[in-house]
Amino acid sequence: MSQDRLNELNQHVSEAIYAAERTADQNSVEAKEAYLKVSRLEEQIAELVPASNVQGAIARRGAVRAAMNAGDERRAIGLAATYARAGADETLTRELQELLKP
């Protein structure tokens, strides 16, 4: 794992979250796209950091939560299933499933 790449992604996630939160009340296409961007960036972090690492768990929850906020339930379900199969512990798996509830 490249720490520089991880730092870069974390910066992008912070910026994307800020943009998504600014548009969240609008329930617009722009808001949904902003949350999808957050989900994709968090997914990239999850690919770099194991689920057993606090930052890896946060990224996995963030990817699923942002996908749900974007209204992309299919993506959220797919990510949660992938993370459960790829080594998320029971607690994280349960938390991811909770995020899928409306």
Query: In degrees to the nearest 10, what's the CA dihedral of 36, 21, 81, 87?
Result: 110
What are φ and ψ of residue 13, in 5° steps?
A: -65, -45
Tens-place pLDDT, residues 11-70: 999 999 999 999 877 778 998 999 999 999 999 999 999 999 999 999 999 999 999 999
| Structural domain harbouring 44 | 3-99
Q: How long, in residues, is the chain?
A: 102
Q: Please state the domain count of the chain.
A: 1
Separation CA 18–CA 11 (nearest Å) = 11
Tens-place pLDDT, residues 68-93: 999 999 999 999 999 999 989 999 99
